[in-house]
Structure 1
Amino acid sequence: MEKNAKALYLMGILQDDRSSDVTKRGMKRLRYRYTFKFSGKLVCRRTFHVCYDIGRSALKGIMSHMLEHGVVPKNHGNKGRRPKHALCFDDVQRVVAYLLNCAEREGIPLPAAPRGRDNIPQIYLPASTTKLDLFKDYQQNCASNIRIVKLTAFKSIWSSCVPNIRIASPRDDVCAICENLRKRVVDAIEEDEQLEATDAYGDHIRQGKRVCLLINNLYLYYAPQNLF
């Protein structure tokens, strides 16, 4: 039985045999006397605890709730309240802007969405990057008068608002040419073929690093100084 349903069930049992709200003299009753029953038979309070598997404090809480509100479901005291540490729209917007800037600067977008139901293509960040590294960089780029979200909130905003930005796994962080060259190295039988494939693979990796460095330098040259 669920907690709220069990509490309502016990309230009904206690309410039936509870003393009235006024005394014999017509005064407001300050103390209420309850009778405890199980299967229609009177039992002691300790037996009531055991039979209904409820602790002493929980039963006292149910009785206090009945005195104050009657036989109604219990609500948590913080229900409807906004926590002091709740994030505002600007906090979320700054994190999203930072992640979009990172994706534009370092990400490799896929030509199309991987599945038919997705309308936004995936953007892969380098496999050498971690969420903790990006969070530390986000902290450093925030101004001193701007609220910085915690790591857990940073990850939650990332997964909720921009799930298409992902960190590539080592398997994903390769292109088609890399796959073909690596396959040539594995499938090579002669030593000359293996050396030729290895040299071609190394040249391709070095060329990719030069292109990546050039793109990063161009972005840093033309990008605005402040990310936010």
Structure 2
Amino acid sequence: MNAPPLVQARGLTRVLPGVVPVTLVRDVDLTIAAGEFVAITGPSGSGKSSLLYLLGLLDRPTAGSVWLEGRDTAELDAAELAYLRLARLGFVFQFHFLLPEFTALGNVLIPMRKLAALPERAMRAHAMELLDRLGLADQAGKRPDQLSGGQRQRVAIARALANGPRLILADEPTGNLDTRNAQGVFDIFASLARESGTAVVTVTHDEHLAAQTHRRVVLVDGRVVDGA
């Protein structure tokens, strides 16, 4: 029996209520497989980030559903969704959102301590392994303000990987980086998909970087017009 898709969106729609309702995402059907690296592209205001937040269970759809590993997330309450986000999903944003009072190591430890699945020594060892994998072992004791922009974003990726997620969701993760560091981030994502089977879905406006992914999903006015 074949395993279900890692993520499947069915008729996904998100409408902001108001005097004049605004439809952010319109009737999207989309399937993401394990180990797939997918770019969501499209014009500004086309609903890219809104779709990403729905896939990442950060927002609830107005209609339709998101299935994660064969499970309908519409049936889950807020606590169950929070646990899934912590244990199965990882997030990387345009702004790294590292806590300034913590070191690089301390920031990577935060999601592991929240999940509390490992003893402290094992968590620290795993966090150091992630930092080393991303070329940051020698920066582990530094705070975010002591790191370069590219280093901060790599720490954010290490933090996203801390609990071994099946899916990484990245919203314009290279938006504040120069060309070299942006390419480095995409190389990391491609390596994750290829070597560990982690699926990566990223919103990007960079056509050069998007062309390096396995598939591009193009949104226009909230609808998928190509790549589904």
- Judging by fraction of residues, say which structure has more helix: 1
Q: Does the TM-score normalized on the shorter chain lie above 0.5?
A: no
Structure ID, larger Rg: 1
- Judging by fraction of residues, say which structure has more strand: 2
TM-score under structure 1 normalisation?
0.23
